Amino acid sequence: MTPVADLLLIEDDETIGGSLRDSLVADGHQVRWATRAAEALEAARADRYALALLDVGLPDLDGFEVARRLRDLQPACVIVMLTARTDEVDVVVGLEAGADDYLTKPFRLSELRARVRAHLRRGAPAQVGPTLVGALAVDLAARRCRLGEVDVVLRAKEFDLLARLAASAGEAVSRHTLMSEVWDENWYGPTKTLDVHVAALRRRFAEAAAVAAVPEPRITTLRGHGYRLER
């Protein structure tokens, strides 16, 4: 059963926003609908949200900047960007700004609802003690990652991706497996989001390793297949 949650909808188009809100409310969610970036950021300062649907084309502030500010305000919130831009570079910019996922307009309402359900189902499975990969400790129950004595602060999807790789440390994990288990088994569109999240993990590992003075965890790219977190 998919949990219901408090959602933040940021969409200035009255027709699209109304349709999305009504559909999400029908699924049992509490939805705060903001039509301007300023209103959305004010809402994010006042309340916590499990997931935010963010339209890139807002009238008062660039959607990528909204994603960055929203990520700072609510690190655990899943951010799904809604964009009419189809260029890969725009998708990458959105993901690097802090988004966890994206949908390209026009999209089917059923697709969006399925994507929301998939994100909300992503829970931390119970586990006794952290997974250890060298100096790296991944604690699923606490959703905490440490490298040596240094905490590695990760976004929600970065942690989920690392947890999946750590569960098969030393083994090759295919792109299909990572996309289906970390994002959605019915994923639509390109998988560039996976590469962006792997790149983010590598940057965070490098930063933490420099502070902790321990070897940097290594994620190897297996061209034509996927990735492997080395033991």
What does 25-52 look like in DSSP terms, one character per residue?
HHTT-EEEEESSHHHHHHHHHHS--SEE
**Residue 188 pLDDT grade (very low, low, confident, very high; cuts 50, 70, 90):** low
pTM: 0.61
Give the separation between CA 181 and CA 118, rounded to whole angstroms. 10
> Do 12 and 111 have their domain in common?
yes
Is 49:7 a contact under the CB 8 Å cutoff? yes
> Do 24 and 117 have their domain in common?
yes
- Residue in the structure block whose two tokens are 């903001």: 34
Please give the structure tokens belonging to residue 121: 């189902």
* All residues at 6 or more sequence positions from 96 whose CB lies less than 8 Å from its CB, including other chains: 196, 200
> Do 98 and 12 have their domain in common?
yes
Q: Which of 67, 88, 121 is the last residue of a domain?
A: 121
The H or E element spanning position 174 is: strand 173-174
Domain presence at residue 115:
yes
Q: Which of 92, 121, 150 is the last residue of a domain?
A: 121
> Do 115 and 137 have their domain in common?
no
> Do 174 and 224 have their domain in common?
yes
Domain presence at residue 1:
no
Q: What is the pLDDT of residues 138-164, one digit of tens each?
A: 988 788 999 999 999 998 889 999 999
Give the separation between CA 103 and CA 159, rounded to whole angstroms. 21
> Do 106 and 14 have their domain in common?
yes
Q: Read off the CATH number of the domain in which 98 is found.
A: 3.40.50.2300
> Do 42 and 97 have their domain in common?
yes
Cis status of the peptide bond prior to 106, with omega within 30 of 0:
yes
> Do 84 and 16 have their domain in common?
yes
- Residue 135: domain span: 131-229
Give the separation between CA 220 and CA 149, rounded to whole angstroms. 24
Residue type, 122: R
Q: Which of 83, 103, 121 is the last residue of a domain?
A: 121
100: burial class by Cβ within 10 Å (0-12, 13-18, 19+)?
buried
> Do 86 and 136 have their domain in common?
no
**Residue 1 pLDDT grade (very low, low, confident, very high; cuts 50, 70, 90):** very low
> Do 153 and 200 have their domain in common?
yes
Domain presence at residue 160:
yes
Q: What is the pLDDT of residues 56-103, one digit of tens each?
A: 889 999 889 999 999 889 888 999 989 876 666 677 777 788 888 888
**Residue 187 pLDDT grade (very low, low, confident, very high; cuts 50, 70, 90):** low
As a whole number, mean pLDDT of residues 105-115 equals 85
Residue type, 214: V
**DSSP string for 71-83:** HHH-TTSEEEEEE
Please give the structure tokens belonging to residue 107: 């999209």
Which backbone phi and psi does 164 adopt, to 5 degrees?
A: -70, -40
Q: What domain count does the chain have? A: 2
